[in-house]
Amino acid sequence: MHDLAFWGSVIVFLLTYALIISEKIHRMVVATAGGMLMLLFGFLTQETALKDNIDFNTLGLLIGMMILVPIPRRTGVFEAVAIWAAKITGGEPLRQAGVYPLMQTLLDAGRSVLLETNGSLPLCGVPDAVGIIVDLKCPDSGMAGHNLADNLAFLRERKRRGCFDEIKFVLSSLDDYHWAREVVEQHRLDRVLPVLFSPVRERLDPATLAQLLLEHRLNVRLQLQLHTLLWPGQSRGV
């Protein structure tokens, strides 16, 4: 009898799971029908189902959440927390004319706004309240010729106005490092605003970069690309 109950339960479970995966019938209906079959064929007693197989604490928590969540949701508190701070990035945001009114709208709504740009376009249209992160392109990227030199002077001017900006160098090689070091020292960027050196881990070992920074006493921050630590070897979906 025990074997019959065991294999019968396995068959009901597999059939129920298959119907849920097929999505031809609503999963709640399938799950309810599976439970009823277990009771109907005697594979599970009603007492055992209620006592051992139902977690009433979890059910109470879920029901309470379903009752309570809609109340603060109507106030907009979840939306406010979700976009308390906004970072505008991806491609080159300043190529989109709509980015300027977007930044101002977010600021007017009381949000903290960050803009990440590759520095190939003028920054003069960016509001002072927006923090700018300029990703200054290094030679190995093939885009160093697109860096707009006037932006460095403009960042100095923003600093005098009390803006909070940063400059980032993504380094793919030792040549990139020495080039970035020369730019930082020539323009004394580390005395103006925070400077970040971010190595491409597949091409420049972070430990090697850290050692160089210590040897040269360069006043910059070492920034590791978080997605390469969380999802190593993946180039998509990060």
Q: Are residues 175 and 102 in the same domain?
A: yes
In angstroms, how far is CA 175 from the centroid of its own chain?
30
Q: Are residues 87 and 50 in the same domain?
A: no
**Residue 27 lies inside a defined structural domain of this protein:** yes
**Residue 100 lies inside a defined structural domain of this protein:** yes
Q: Are residues 223 and 132 in the same domain?
A: yes
Q: Are residues 114 and 221 in the same domain?
A: yes
Q: What is the pLDDT of residue 69?
A: 66
What is the reported pTM?
0.61
Give the total number of structural domains in the chain: 2
Q: What is the pLDDT of residue 238?
A: 44
Q: Which domain holds residue 47?
A: 2-54
d(CA 235, CA 216): 32
Q: Which tokens hold the place of 81?
A: 């927390």
Q: What is the pLDDT of residue 237?
A: 47
131-136/221-222 β-pairing: unpaired
Q: Is the alpha carbon torsion for 114, 170, 180, 148 positive or negative?
A: negative
Question: ∠115-116-118 over CA atoms, to 5°?
Answer: 135
Type of residue at 207: A
d(CA 149, CA 165): 16
Q: Is 174 exposed, middle or buried (0-12, 13-18, 19+ CB in 10 A)?
A: middle
DSSP 164-226: --EEEEEE-SHHHHHHHHHHHHHHTGGGTS-EEEEE-TTTS-HHHHHHHHHHHT---EE---H
Q: Are residues 100 and 215 in the same domain?
A: yes
Question: ∠229-232-236 over CA atoms, to 5°?
Answer: 115
Alpha-helical runs (H) found in the chain = 2-22, 27-40, 46-52, 56-68, 70-73, 77-82, 99-108, 150-160, 174-187, 206-216, 226-230
Regions of the chain where pLDDT drops below 50: 237-238
Q: What is the pLDDT of residue 214?
A: 94
Q: What is the pLDDT of residue 204?
A: 93
